[in-house]
Structure 1
Amino acid sequence: MNKKILKYASVLSLIVIFAVVLSGCAQSGVQHAPTGGPYGFIYKWLGTPFQNLILSTAEFVGGRDAYAWGIVIISFVVRLLLLPLSLNQQYKSTAQQEKMRAVQPQLKLIQAKQKEAKDPETQQKISQLMMEVYKQNNISLTGGIGCLPLLLQMPILIAIYQAVQYSKEIGVATFMTIPLGKPSLIIALVATVFYIIQSWLSLQIVPQEQRKQMQTMLLMNPLITFFISMVSSAALALYFLVGGVVILIQQLITNYVIMPRIKKQADANLAEHPVKVVVTEKSIAKLMANSGSSNNNSSSDDNSDNESRSDLHKSIREMNQGRQQHQHTDDDK
């Protein structure tokens, strides 16, 4: 169940991000700023303020790469504002992983017995036991994963794209001779490297038995970063690069500060409140035996019903035959 939710969450993230990219790319040929629709609404309330912030910061910083540094500073502030929320999500996710590790023997037993079950009804009953294990031990089905930090970044991504797209000053500016208004392979690669390192670090705190299912999802983040950076402006890639630096710092805090603290808390909680054993070999064997006997009883009942129907049809045929013979006798008289 948890695997399915993780897959759905990653697919949803992809759909949202691609929607953002396509909406931005669709406007790439527009010379005038949008005035209507959702894109125009974001430009009015986020794109224009971001433009003014970048321009003001660039004027304050000064120099040839002032606009680029304006984007870097604004992006860094935005990511720092989102950092507490991201750390809170990371804390919840890590705590859920520790709980999952504690109930893993029960989950493995359920999965093994599901494969042994021969009929769908028994499989469904065993599957319900997994939900009971989660419920009794207060484990979230989503694994503590939330989409709020991602969703909050969506309008910011569009706003930064718009700030560059509809500003002559920023659109023609450069960063170390790299034009901000065009895609940059160098910035895209550097940003992607940060996300690859972060993904590798986050994999180190995942339990060994869950790493295979997490690898694909963790690799998607660097790939998406590279893709969006290559189809949009270098200014947006700069936002991802700054985000990569912040998220790497966040992951280091998680690995070396949050994770040891959670493990210590988890050990103390398990000592005081041990994991509730919902499933045992004996209880599942009894469930499967009862399910099998009920299926046999239902089969016996079906056979009895079939026999009763057969006897009924036989009696009707004999009655019809008797009536026909009686009718022939009356005709002969």
Structure 2
Amino acid sequence: MKGIIMQKKTKLFLGGAMMALMLFLSGCARKATTTGHLKPPTGFFYGSIYKYFGIPIQHLMNWLAGLLGGSGNAYGWAIIIITFVVRLILLPLMLNQSKKMTEQQEKMRVLQPQLNLIQEQQKKATTTEEKSQLSSLMMQVYQKNGTSMMPSLGCLTLIIQLPIFSGLYMAIEYSAKISASHFFGFNLGKSSLTITIVATLFYLAQGYLSMYHMAPEQKKQMQTTLLMSPLITFFISLFAPAGLALYFLVGGIIIVIQQAITTFIITPQIKRRIDANLKEHPVVEVVTPETFAHPDVTPNSTADNGSAGTAKESQAEISHEENRKRNAGKQQHHPHA
């Protein structure tokens, strides 16, 4: 369906943008490499990211590490605190998005039989006119049942986080002290396959939980979209410093907790509310199996023919009534002998 396709395209686009950004940032690091140290970038693009995001996060990490003792695992804990604060700020927005997406999925569930009928006909449609009529029918199914074809922007939180993890990446790369620090044996300045795999598993778990209440058809349609987040996490963390992978790992833990709340508390409440609403306001049936019972007749032509037929029948009834009255009048003027 169009809403799901648009959602997939949006996430694919944002995933590609995130990957491209990481390639830009890593390319910047390679060009800046000198004899064993990394020089901060000075160009307009990289220099601006470093100036407005990298340096402030660097100062914040140094300050937090100082509060935590300044040695040992201090910088790792600083990253965890930053991640927690960012996720806490984003929590109301993420819960609101989860609520809207769940409501949309539940509404889609009750409209699915009608949408399936239209989708089957779309596969058979050969002319532009037929496709246009079927698209119009699909719009009617959504509009008459108070549902939007446009999905809620579930990637908004990813967009908001782009400056954060871009700045975190540069803060680690261009600080000799931070990049040389360790967190429970992991060098925060070098990539870590272990942290990468663990972070990816949390995002896979989140995707699995998000599909818990979905119908099998919806699960099949959403699988590719829900794999995007784990794949993006894996590839970025695989080539980024372990400090950035730690950011994703902690974020993954928090998002699994949030998804569990959505799946086992929010979703059942929404389902009960929608089911109660359906009792008072049943689904408007725009199409039924009978709508497409005659393959040569389109829904619009059926409606037009039906209207024309009704008009002809009404006209015939009027003519019949007039003839009957006329004959009755003649009988009164010329009685039988």
Q: TM-score range by the shorter chain?
A: 0.7 to 0.9
Match of 1:50 in 2: 57
Q: 1:272 aligns with which of 280, 289, 293?
A: 280
Counterpart in 1 of 2:199? 191
1:255 aligns with 2:263: yes
Which deviates further from its counterpart, 69-78 or 105-114? 105-114
**2:144–2:284: 8 Å Cα contact kept in structure 1?**
yes
CA contact (8 A) 1:80 1:246 kept: no
Structure 2: how far apart are the matches of 1:200 and 1:226?
Answer: 17
The aligned length equals: 294
Q: Provide the secondary structure at the position in 2 that maps to 1:27.
A: helix
* Superposition map of 1:117-132 within 5 A: 117=125, 119-132=127-140
The one-letter code sitting in structure 2 at the alignment partner of 1:104 is: Q
Aligned AA (1:35): T
Unmatched segments (≥5 aa) in structure 1: 295-333
Q: Closer, same or farther in 2 for the Cα pair 1:290/1:149, shift >3 Å?
A: closer
> Measured at CA, do residues 175 and 3 of structure 1 come closer, stay the same or move farther in structure 2, by a change above 3 Å?
same
CA deviation after TM superposition for structure 1 residue 286, in Å: 7.6
Which amino acid is 1:23 matched to?
F
Q: Judge conservation of contact 1:194–1:241 (CA < 8 Å) in 2.
A: yes
Aligned partner of 1:160 in structure 2 is 168
**Structure 2 residue 93 is the aligned partner of structure 1 residue 92:** no
Maintained 8 Å contact 1:92/1:144: yes
Query: Which amino acid is the alignment partner of residue 13 of structure 2?
Result: L
What TM-score, normalized to structure 2?
Answer: 0.81
Moved more, 137-146 or 270-279: 137-146
Q: Aligned AA for 1:47? A: G
Partner residue of 1:175?
183
Report the residue type matching 1:43 in the other structure. Answer: Y
How far apart are the structure 2 equivalents of 1:293 and 1:279? 14
How far does residue 49 in structure 1 lie from its aligned partner after superposition? 1.3
- The residue that corresponds to 1:69 in the other structure is 77
Deviations 1:178-229 (A, max 9, x none): 1111101111111111111111111212222211111122122212211111
Once the two structures are TM-superposed, the CA of residue 283 in structure 1 deviates from its matched residue by 4.2
Q: Trace 1:102-121 onto structure 2 (pairs within 5 A).
A: 102-117=110-125, 119-121=127-129
C-alpha distance in 2, partners of 1:79/1:180? 21
CA RMSD after TM alignment: 2.1
In structure 2, distance between residues paired with 1:180 and 1:115? 52
Q: SS of the counterpart of 1:261?
A: helix
Partner of 1:59: 66
Letter in 1 for 2:134: I
Compute the displacement of 1:148 (Å): 1.3
Alignment-derived partner of residue 297 in structure 1: none
Query: Displacement, 1:278?
Result: 1.7
TM-score (ref. length: structure 1) = 0.82
Contact 2:202 2:249 in 1 (8 A): yes
1:226 aligned partner: 234
Amino acid at match of 1:52: H
**CA displacement, residues 123-151 of structure 1 (integer Å, 9 cap, x when unaligned):** 32122201111122222223334321110
Aligned match of 2:88:
80
